[in-house]
Copies of this chain bind each other. A is one copy, B any other.
Amino acid sequence: MKGSVGALGEFGLIRELTSRISGTPAVRLGPGDDAAVVAAPDRRVVASTDILVEGRHFRRDWSTAYDVGRKAAAQNLADIAAMGATPSAVLLGLVVPAELPATWPVELMDGIRDECQVAGAGVAGGDVVRGDTVIVSITALGDLAGREPVTRTGARPGDLVAVTGWLGWSAAGHAVLSRGFRSPRAFVEAHRRPEPPYPAGPAGAALGATSMTDVSDGLIADLGHIAQGSKVRIDIRSAALDMPAQLNDIGQAVGVDPLQWVLTGGEDHAIVATFPPETKLPARWRVIGEVLPSRGRGAPVAPGGAAPPRVTVDGAPWEKAGGWDHFAG
């Protein structure tokens, strides 16, 4: 396919995009009508929307369109999994400049389709319009299969904190890329194309998770959402975190404590959850900390009498902690 999306035209582009996707059982009626119809056997549907802006959430010179599609779909599908649900379908809203090569949105769609396939979902529909910069909006839907959704509000003092999936890999890959390197490939790939552990969401729910979220903003920031929502504190044991030797090597090469990436790097979409202390967790879950009462003996004292930090590392505040504020900087 040659030429720009402007030359292809709106209907030509929609034809190309819909030709890339194939039916899945959950998508009862796919693109081409006023709306799609998606199976919701549980009689409830889990739904999440994310919107990604070129230059802010992805760079066309760092990531292929295919990888942007994989990543955009992954971050939304991970939100569905983090509720304890199984992803069923996504809808795509796409803004493209007329001069964009027509191959770009088509390869984006290939990436979305392939990531959906990994998660067990299908592409149900979408909308494409013209604008000045590339914007990718994805809404993901999922099914709870009779389980209650696992929110951020159910963690109780004494619960275990456990994680499954990758932590810090995307941030290390970003550090490598931003210094102009293209290797180690595993971390660069992790930045371009996260691999959320989708089945861990429903599995965590079935194991009795009291709270759950995916790590999109960073482990401390996302556990902070759980701690705030559940009105508890959480302490992470740094020695329990998985620190691959290669992550240490990259840290040394670029002069960054790799623990910083593991604790504050987002975008890997690991699943982190709290479980009652007696829970027997399968090996793929790694216990990394404990839920503590909001206040009381052992709570660290914040300067100036402020509220103690919600999340600590080995009993102390992590100085460089904090999530992203997308309006800052």
Task: Name A residues whose Cβ lies closer than 8 Å to a Cβ of B.
Answer: 5-6, 8-11, 13, 28-29, 32-53, 56-57, 79-80, 82-83, 85, 89, 91-95, 98, 124-133, 135, 137, 139-142, 144, 149, 151-153, 212-214, 229, 325-328
Q: Which residues of B contact A57 (CB under 8 A)?
A: 129
Residue of B nearest to A89 (CB): B47
Top 9 A-B pairs, shortest CB-CB distance: A51-B93, A35-B48, A40-B40, A137-B137, A139-B139, A49-B91, A34-B82, A53-B131, A34-B79
Residue of B nearest to A11 (CB): B325
Q: Is the CB of B327 within 8 A of A130?
A: yes
Chain B residues whose C-beta falls within 8 Å of the C-beta of A29 in the assembled complex: 149, 151
Supply 19 further A-B pairs (C-beta < 8 A) apart from A9-B327, A39-B44, A131-B135. A6-B327, A10-B327, A33-B213, A33-B229, A34-B82, A34-B213, A35-B46, A35-B83, A35-B149, A37-B45, A40-B45, A48-B91, A49-B91, A49-B92, A50-B127, A52-B129, A129-B326, A130-B326, A137-B137
Q: Report whether B129 and A53 are in contact in the complex, using a CB–CB cutoff of 8 Å.
A: yes
* Residues of B close to A39: CB separation below 8 A: 43-44
Q: Is there contact, CB below 8 Å, between B40 and A36? A: no
Q: Are A37 and B124 in contact (CB under 8 A)?
A: no
Residue of B nearest to A81 (CB): B34
Contact A35 B79 (CB under 8 A): yes
Which residues in B have their C-beta under 8 angstroms from that of A212? 34
In the complex the two chains form, is B98's CB within 8 Å of A34's CB? no
**B149 and A47 contact, CB distance less than 8 A:** no
A326 to chain B, nearest CB (A): 5
Residue from A33, A34, A130 whose CB has the most chain B CB atoms within 10 Å? A34
Cα A43 to Cα B37 in complex, Å, equals 10
Known contacts A95-B135, A327-B98; A45/B127 CB under 8 A: no
A125 surroundings in chain B (CB, below 8 A):
47-49
The residue from B51, B95, B325 contacting A127, defined by CB atoms under 8 A apart: B51
Contacts of A82 in B (CB 8 A): 34-35
Residues of B within 8 Å of A213, CB to CB, are: 33-34
Q: How far is the CB of A143 from chain B (nearest CB, A)?
A: 9
On whether A124 and B51 interact (CB within 8 A), knowing A82-B35, A133-B132, A327-B10, the answer reads: no
* Chain B residue nearest to A216 in the complex (CB): B34
Pairs A–B under 8 Å by Cβ, sample size 26: A5-B327, A8-B327, A11-B325, A33-B83, A33-B153, A33-B213, A34-B48, A34-B83, A34-B214, A35-B83, A35-B140, A35-B142, A36-B48, A37-B144, A38-B44, A38-B46, A47-B124, A47-B139, A47-B141, A48-B91, A50-B93, A53-B129, A53-B130, A129-B326, A130-B327, A131-B133
Bound Cα distance A326, B131 (Å):
10
Q: How far is the CA of A11 from the CA of B44 in the complex (A)?
A: 28
A135 surroundings in chain B (CB, below 8 A): 51, 95, 131, 135, 137
| Neighbouring B residues of A133 by C-beta, 8 Å | 131-133
